[in-house]
């Protein structure tokens, strides 16, 4: 029985091209009590591998968080499989706004302590006592209320390329960093302000809203389904779109265009740009914003050093990165000192 991916990304990409079949990029999450996450993980892998499903999935005792690429012809079978799992029956599937057959190139299902790294002690509060879920129309009305504080629960590199009009965008690297900062900055307004939150698909707000209610906030709201579901409803119902720019996504697309506004700039020259790329030097792989002009000038690299490294024979490049970990640098997402026009946002929460 195969329980792990055995193909490289390049091999999988070639198979996708050969198949020439349409694939759907989607995501879903569900907080639920899973007694044996490892057994559940293996069950998912066997079933989804047989359906040629790809993606990044986290399973924990508290539930599941999944971002997937599913062959369109297998969608009905995939949906039926989910509906046969009691806590996933009719779970909302957030279908991507912009589709890409190569959004994911491997099937990775990992058992984690939590489905989102929040740093919280869940035993100290009721995680089911969540904020009020609002749809796109209700959300649009709420964020025009002068007594509302609208908070982006995502990280700085996500909000840098796109966010809602008048949203507070905490300058944080991780979700866990934002929780205490927001509470401290809004502590004087726990009763007189409406705290309205949003994130990509809703999962971060699901936990955060319960946390803030536990901390004494009286009026807590969250955008149901996040930016992805908001955009679907705006398009379907003809509502005013109050989101500016791109929605950052955690797959090979790196972003979905929600509006024509370009609110970010190239980290190398400062020109308007909201295209995230990874440095071509695999020993670096830094994620940053780069325009086409700089990509050509820098050979898709973040620095002159990396530009020189990729000129070396592959074996020499491999030796240079042997035994080194670069994930911490990668996830600084544009804060590297080699980037002249990196994000310098220090805005926290407007009182």
Tokens linked to 242: 């109050």
* Separation CA 249–CA 13 (nearest Å): 19
* 199 given a catalytic annotation: yes
Q: Are 320 and 311 in contact (CB under 8 A)?
A: no
State the pairing for strand pair 63-71/132-134. Answer: unpaired
List, in sequence order, the alpha helices (H) in 167-287: 175-185, 203-214, 226-237
Active-site residue among 199, 205, 273, 279?
199
Under 8 Å CB-to-CB from 94, ≥6 apart: which residues? 26, 27, 28, 201, 225, 226, 228, 229
Give the DSSP H or E segment for 70: strand 63-71
DSSP result, 270-328? --B---EEE-S-TTT--EEE--HHHHHHTTT-SSHHHHHHTTS-HHHHHHHHTT---HH
- The 10 Å Cβ neighbour count of residue 346 is 7
Q: Which residue numbers are catalytic?
A: 199
């Amino acid at each position: 029985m195969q329980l792990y991916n055995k193909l490289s990304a390049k091999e999988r990409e070639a198979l996708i091209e050969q198949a020439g079949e349409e694939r759907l990029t989607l995501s879903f999450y569900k907080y639920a009590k899973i007694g044996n996450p490892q057994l559940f993980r293996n069950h998912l892998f066997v079933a989804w591998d047989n359906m040629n499903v790809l993606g990044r999935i986290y399973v924990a005792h508290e539930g599941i968080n999944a971002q997937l690429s599913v062959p369109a012809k297998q969608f009905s079978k995939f949906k039926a499989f989910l509906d046969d799992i009691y806590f996933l029956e009719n779970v909302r599937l957030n279908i991507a706004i912009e589709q890409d057959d190569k959004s994911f190139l491997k099937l990775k299902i990992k058992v984690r302590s939590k489905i989102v790294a929040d740093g919280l002690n869940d035993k100290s509060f009721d995680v089911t006592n969540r904020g009020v879920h609002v749809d796109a129309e209700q959300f649009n009305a709420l964020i025009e209320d002068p007594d509302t504080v609208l908070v982006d629960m995502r990280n700085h590199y996500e909000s840098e390329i796109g966010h809602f009009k008048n949203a507070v965008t905490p300058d944080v690297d991780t979700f866990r960093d934002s929780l205490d900062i927001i509470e401290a900055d809004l502590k004087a307004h726990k009763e007189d302000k409406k705290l309205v939150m949003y994130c990509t698909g809703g999962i971060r707000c699901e936990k955060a809203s319960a946390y803030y209610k536990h901390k004494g906030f009286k009026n807590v709201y969250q955008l149901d389904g996040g930016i992805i579901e908001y955009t679907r409803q705006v398009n379907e119902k003809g509502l005013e779109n109050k989101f500016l720019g791109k929605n950052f996504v955690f797959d090979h697309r790196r972003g979905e265009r929600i509006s024509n506004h370009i609110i970010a700039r190239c980290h190398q020259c400062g020109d308007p740009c909201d295209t995230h790329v990874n440095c071509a030097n695999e020993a670096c792989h830094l994620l940053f914003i780069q325009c086409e002009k700089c990509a050509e000038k820098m050979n898709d690299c973040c620095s002159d050093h990396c530009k020189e490294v990729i000129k070396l024979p592959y074996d020499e490049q491999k030796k240079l990165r042997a035994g080194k970990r670069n994930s911490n640098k990668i996830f600084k997402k544009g804060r590297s000192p080699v980037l002249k026009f990196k994000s310098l946002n220090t805005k926290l929460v407007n009182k």
